[in-house]
Structure 1
Amino acid sequence: MKRGAKVTATGGTLVALALLAGSMAMPEPVSRPPGAIGPPMVPVGLVSFDSCADALTELRAAATASVGPYGFGGDAVLFGDRAALGGAESMARTFAGAAGDAAAQDGGAGHSTTNNHEVGADEPDLVKTDGRRIVTVTHGVLRVIDPASRQVVGELDLTGGQEEQRWLEHQLLLLGDRALVLTADAPSPADSYRLAGPAGATRLMLIGLTGQPRLLGTYRIQGSTVDARLTGDTARVVVRAATRLEFPIEPAGSDPVRTERNHKVIARAGVEAWLPEYEWTAGDERHTGRVGCDRLSRPKRMTGSSTLTVLSFDLTTDRLGDGDPVAVAADADTVYGTATGLYLAGQRPMATPTTPRWRPSSADQVTEIYQFDTAAPGRPRFLAAGSVPGWLINQYALSEWAGHLRVATTTGDLWGAGRTSESAVHILRRDGGALASTGVVGGLGRGERIYSVRYLGPVAYVVTFRQTDPLYSLDLTDPAAPVVTGELKITGYSAYLHPLPDGRLLGVGQEADGQGRTEGLQVSLFDVRDPARPTRLDQWHLPNGWSAAEHDPHAFLYRPDSGLVALPVDAGIRLLHVTGDTISEIGAVTHPSIEHPNARRPWVSSPSVRRSLVVGDVLWTVSDAGLRASDPVTARSLGWIATT
């Protein structure tokens, strides 16, 4: 089959899936290690389809088994645990080495970089800098700022005349003189409902930054972006596309009648309902295509309700091309990347229950994980898949170290009278095509859930919370026998943990009273040099305050050379100084209000300052109103660049 051509349901055998080393037989269930919690986990594996006809038959069967009277029921009928959470390290070295490496991620003394989870795996963000330029997108306009002259030296409108694009968020990856912009698509009525479909579309733009910024190429694909990573010269973008089936909305009829109507819709659907369509441009060229059946694989258990596609783009070229897609008939909402690997993780979709249930049982709470090799440029190679009980808080619950994957999850009921929840750290190792369990340490925070996780080489720190905050320290040196080595109970919780030099750990979260009622932003400085006795050295508390860094690590800035910590707090940026065993406040950086002219009633809004970065000895802060240059030692303003 020619790549990019539309597929048809023929019976001919297709080339085996290129990302697999042939079709894999499903491995047998692995034995459960001592201390395991939840139902026995069976490695999920992936296999390719023999033909488009086989793919269509199996996808229709899975969708028919999963659909209910109101469509696919995982989201509409059953509120999963991640909804209740508000959402949404590969370091073979000691604690001191890991903390030092976290400082290296921040660019040393020259300039800061995005606060990434892993070294060598850059993550998209609202602003990027390489030290000689700052690149950001505001209201659909990409701007290049020269930090030396503190002036805008280039602008490019990315909206294509579509005003709706100005209100969408744009994320950036930066490599040399190329920027990749990731956003959703707001299609014009005349152009792209066909491409976008009811589930929307992802839009990518490759920008050349030499001289005035210019658009080199575009890429659009059905589905929404889950996340992306840049390793070496290759950007890999993960897109989730809901199956494009238009179920009838008819009030008449019983639930069995409604379900039968939906079965008929599925029976009439072609394979294109599951295979995302894409288009790409380069200059005057325009190409269209669809992910081929030979690029699609499936787990043993699937619902047929969504497809994950991994796209690969070489950012050193002048075009994006077709993205060299590979796809899995599965679901995921978490991407974890290292310099050589990519993991897709998400809760296993559940078939529609026969009776409505608003809380999942422990047996329903399963996270499936797919591992890909991204060490070489281009298309990733599937390695293995597995599953663990429970759900993830975010990508920081995952860590690859010394050939093992560590996964922190919470399982059980958080709301019932019994509060049966507890958390655990599972350790997996690749065995053929399976991520097999080698060890687990459970019993963390009974009746609570995980709020943050940080792995530092063979050590892990896990925060759980309901009324008080246990900070657990764990020794994962022996993957067959991980153990809890210490516990610190304080009020409140840390929602983000960041390593500091000299065996210290910084936590950003909320203070709380003895009943668990939050009382405002707190930053905690922990001494974790003694694994058996973690202690809190100091605390900074802002009553009634909150920070975006509690749920978005990209909003957090730490400079190991100066001890500077910058946090978005309410609408501004609060600057702290962390040294030795103390936290002190430097001051605050705010941005001017935005005036919105209106013939009837003009109004003014206060922009939220969302990011901070350092170039040389200047702190830059970014909001929808503009960029401010400040002295990081005093918080004094040095200049203002308006972008409205």
Structure 2
Amino acid sequence: MKRGTKLATTGGSLLVLTLLAGSMAVSQSSPNEPGTPTAPTAPMVPVGLVSFDSCADALAELRAAATASVGPYGFAGDAVLFGDRTAAIGGAESKARTFAEAPGDAAVRDAGAGHSTTNNHEAGADEPDLVKTDGRRIVTVTGGVLRVVDPVTRRVTGRLDLTDDREELRWQEHRLLLLGDRALVLREDPPRPADSLRSIRRAGATRLLLIDLSARPQLLGTYRVGGSTVDARLTGRTARVAVRTSAQLRFPPMAEGTDRVRTERNRAVIARAGVEAWLPEYEWTAGAERHTGRVGCDRLNRPDRMTGSSTLTVLSFDLTADRLGDGDPVAVAADADTVYGTATSLYLAGRRPAPITGAPRWQPPSTEQVTDVYQFDTAEPGRPRFLAAGSVPGWLINQYALSEWAGHLRVATTTGEFVGDGTASESAVRVLRRDGGALVPTGEVGGLGRGERIYSVRYLGPVAYVVTFRQTDPLYALDLTDPTAPTVTGELKITGYSAYLHPLPEQRLLGVGQEADRQGRTKGLQVSLFDVRDPGRPNRLDQWHLPGGWSQAEYDPHAFLYRPDTGLVALPVNDGVRLLRVGNDTISEIGEVTHPAASVRDGVRWAPPVRRSLVVDDVLWTVSEAGLRATDPASARNLAWIAAT
């Protein structure tokens, strides 16, 4: 294939470009103060997507990449060391703008809505969760059974067992997307050792189930693809699901011999592998119909740098249809662990695998970590269209480290080694813009939290807040109005840290995380109320602390519920839910909601933790594997209990 040419494939395929990405070399320490804007450094390594001319071309390039990447124990970052490889399951005026005027953030809207929605990152891009409501019904899956609850009568009006009589699936997490009378259920199917050695059977798979909710819940169709779910987004009527599939290569068990000998054995396996080892296999059903297939070579693209160790596939499904179909796949011979979506774009980001160095696996790589980012256009229904790619130094904490605003992508990463005293690490926010098929740098601000790492990030229009931590918690306020010169405007140092930041009215910010002593030892859950009206002087107004406590919302924002109309905050804390009321300057506790121990596991009564909260018509509903409880949010008084039977 000739590099540097623009390709247009037929049949509505992606427009594929050779790119010179906005990849930036790691910033070196400079005499500038931390947070001083610096000009972006020169591009580092070309990154982009190119198509293969044929399956033979694809096989040759994939074999070459995998051969160069494999070591004596397999690929760097593998979930296993040897044997069957399995997918890893598992302007100035803008500074004074209120949060409600900052577009594109799903957390600041629907203050007067009759029901809550999933705590999504961005408006227009719904995220799958354990429970969904449209205000007239509550849909959840517990114990492998989908239940529909009428919030008015407080009764179960529909029930559908999704386990296929497999007991292990009753303990498998199911997540949902809801659109009208359709629900899409996502779960991971564990491997079936007794099945054939086909990759979809051996390595576990992502399973999707399309449910009709117009009357009694009915299964319309299923989709199963080898690999593990990275994440999904629903924009308009189209659900897009990103799946990571490990290359299906049966490396031999570790035996006698040197590392060189073991590496050569693994390379021999790669040399014998066919192209199907890298092309995910799938099957879909619709009623009595059953279809099987494999992602074609014409749907597979590759970055200029790849390891040949995995494939990332984006599937698209129309939830208004009566079947899922083949998912209209788009695949990239790359890896990703983070999905960030807006109403019009989908970004896939992942840490570039470290090269095999010959050093023991437990030693950290000497090369700097790099994160690759791929942008797709999802403004129209159906298959996403590839737009651009780029790279930044360092690694992401989660999807909240990414933000698209005013034609730019902002990315917060930590670079360097966070080991020992942590002095080698620091963090930065970089701004990229799309130039043709490349995400190129326009500006950056670095030197944040030297010796620390990022714990949380929140972008609100032209403003960003970044929390770093090792012993104390600097909350940085950043002005990103000028994409060529982002700056730090203020900093607040307090003990502990916030792992999740949520915007409130009147330019307040709520942080959920852990209190800590001066040595950085955590001391339990804390909720902090910040005043960020003055970008130069962020200030903490109040704090709620529970010694020894923890909350799922620290690592999963979907567990966080806030109602702007009442100031209600519901947080899963340990095994129950704490209800707080947040005003302009204070945090007060309303009470606690708990669920009964109604499950039996191995002959022992087990109290499953309460994991989610939602509001429908001024009633708080909490969800656990044991069931759903209706509660008065103003007093924490119990109203009804629906057991998951």
Q: After TM superposition, is the score higher than 0.5?
A: yes
Q: Is 1:67–2:70 an aligned residue pair? A: yes
Aligned to 1:613: 614
Aligned to 2:178, what secondary structure does the other structure show? strand
Q: Is 1:125–2:129 an aligned residue pair? A: yes
Number of residue-to-residue matches in the alignment: 618
CA distance in 1, matches of 2:23, 2:216: 58
Aligned to 2:223, what secondary structure does the other structure show? strand
Deviation at 1:591, TM superposition (A): 0.2
Distance 1:58-1:477 versus aligned 2 partners, 3 A rule? same
Q: Is 1:485–2:489 an aligned residue pair? A: yes
Distance 1:595-1:369 versus aligned 2 partners, 3 A rule? closer
The residue type paired with residue 338 of structure 1 is T
Aligned to 2:555: 551
Aligned to 1:577: 581
Aligned to 1:68, what secondary structure does the other structure show? coil
**Aligned to 2:600, which of 585, 592, 596?**
596
**Matched-pair contact (CA < 8 Å) for 2:422–2:452:** no
Aligned to 2:58, what secondary structure does the other structure show? helix
Aligned to 1:510, what secondary structure does the other structure show? strand
Aligned to 2:56: 53
Distance 1:367-1:22 versus aligned 2 partners, 3 A rule? closer
CA distance in 1, matches of 2:146, 2:13: 35
Moved more, 412-421 or 603-612: 412-421
CA distance in 1, matches of 2:575, 2:516: 22
The residue type paired with residue 77 of structure 2 is G
Aligned to 1:636: 637
The residue type paired with residue 632 of structure 1 is P
Deviation at 1:107, TM superposition (A): 6.6
Q: Is 1:35–2:38 an aligned residue pair? A: yes
**Aligned to 2:270, which of 245, 255, 266?**
266
Q: Is 1:313–2:317 an aligned residue pair? A: yes
CA distance in 2, matches of 1:565, 1:19: 46
The residue correspondences of 1:341-352 to structure 2 (distance < 5 A) are 341-352=345-356
Q: Is 1:254–2:248 an aligned residue pair? A: no
Aligned to 2:291: 287
Q: Is 1:322–2:323 an aligned residue pair? A: no
**Matched-pair contact (CA < 8 Å) for 2:233–2:240:** yes
**Matched-pair contact (CA < 8 Å) for 2:138–2:151:** yes
Distance 1:548-1:289 versus aligned 2 partners, 3 A rule? same
Aligned to 1:74, what secondary structure does the other structure show? coil
Q: Is 1:24–2:18 an aligned residue pair? A: yes
CA distance in 2, matches of 1:403, 1:391: 23
Q: Deviations over 1:6-63 (max 9, x none)?
A: xxxxxxx995695432443556977999736899533411100011000000000000
Q: Is 1:517–2:518 an aligned residue pair? A: no
Deviation at 1:416, TM superposition (A): 3.3
Deviation at 1:109, TM superposition (A): 3.0
The residue correspondences of 1:197-208 to structure 2 (distance < 5 A) are 197-208=201-212
Deviation at 1:199, TM superposition (A): 2.8
The residue correspondences of 1:310-459 to structure 2 (distance < 5 A) are 310-356=314-360, 358=362, 360=364, 363-417=367-421, 419-459=423-463
Distance 1:534-1:544 versus aligned 2 partners, 3 A rule? same
Aligned to 1:227, what secondary structure does the other structure show? strand
Q: Is 1:622–2:608 an aligned residue pair? A: no
**Aligned to 1:169, which of 167, 170, 173?**
173
Q: Deviations over 1:435-458 (max 9, x none)?
A: 001000000000000000000000
CA distance in 1, matches of 2:637, 2:153: 18
Distance 1:595-1:401 versus aligned 2 partners, 3 A rule? closer
TM-score normalised by structure 1 residue count: 0.92
Deviation at 1:478, TM superposition (A): 0.4
Aligned to 2:139: 135
CA distance in 2, matches of 1:343, 1:418: 30
CA distance in 1, matches of 2:25, 2:353: 24
CA distance in 2, matches of 1:32, 1:191: 47
Q: Deviations over 1:464-501 (max 9, x none)?
A: 00010000000000000000000000000000000000
Distance 1:27-1:117 versus aligned 2 partners, 3 A rule? closer
**Matched-pair contact (CA < 8 Å) for 2:528–2:540:** yes
CA distance in 2, matches of 1:149, 1:319: 32
Distance 1:106-1:123 versus aligned 2 partners, 3 A rule? farther
The residue correspondences of 1:85-100 to structure 2 (distance < 5 A) are 94-98=97-101
Distance 1:173-1:132 versus aligned 2 partners, 3 A rule? same
TM-score normalised by structure 2 residue count: 0.92
Aligned to 2:84: none
Aligned to 2:164: 160
Once the two structures are aligned, what percentage of the paired residues are identical?
A: 75
Deviation at 1:73, TM superposition (A): 2.1
CA distance in 1, matches of 2:41, 2:360: 23
Deviation at 1:193, TM superposition (A): 5.2
Q: Deviations over 1:604-630 (max 9, x none)?
A: 212100000000010000000000000
TM-align CA RMSD: 2.4
Aligned to 2:373, what secondary structure does the other structure show? strand
Aligned to 1:586, what secondary structure does the other structure show? strand
Moved more, 226-235 or 34-43: 34-43
CA distance in 2, matches of 1:22, 1:240: 21
**Matched-pair contact (CA < 8 Å) for 1:123–1:228:** yes
CA distance in 2, matches of 1:362, 1:548: 34
**Matched-pair contact (CA < 8 Å) for 2:426–2:452:** yes
The residue type paired with residue 48 of structure 1 is S
Q: Is 1:113–2:114 an aligned residue pair? A: no
CA distance in 2, matches of 1:99, 1:438: 21
Q: Deviations over 1:319-353 (max 9, x none)?
A: 00000000000000000000000000010012211
CA distance in 1, matches of 2:377, 2:570: 35
**Matched-pair contact (CA < 8 Å) for 2:596–2:626:** yes
The residue type paired with residue 140 of structure 1 is G
The residue type paired with residue 618 of structure 2 is D
CA distance in 1, matches of 2:216, 2:569: 34
**Matched-pair contact (CA < 8 Å) for 1:30–1:43:** no
Aligned to 1:64, what secondary structure does the other structure show? helix
**Matched-pair contact (CA < 8 Å) for 1:16–1:294:** no
Aligned to 1:83: none
Deviation at 1:594, TM superposition (A): 2.2
CA distance in 2, matches of 1:597, 1:230: 35
Q: Deviations over 1:403-422 (max 9, x none)?
A: 00000000011113462100
Q: Unpaired segments of 5 or more residues in structure 1?
A: 1-12, 79-86
Q: Deviations over 1:168-206 (max 9, x none)?
A: 100000000000000011465665652524431100000
Aligned to 2:38, what secondary structure does the other structure show? coil
**Matched-pair contact (CA < 8 Å) for 2:21–2:440:** no
Q: Unpaired segments of 5 or more residues in structure 2?
A: 1-6, 28-36, 82-88
Aligned to 1:59, what secondary structure does the other structure show? helix
Q: Is 1:297–2:298 an aligned residue pair? A: no
Aligned to 1:72, what secondary structure does the other structure show? coil
CA distance in 1, matches of 2:23, 2:586: 50
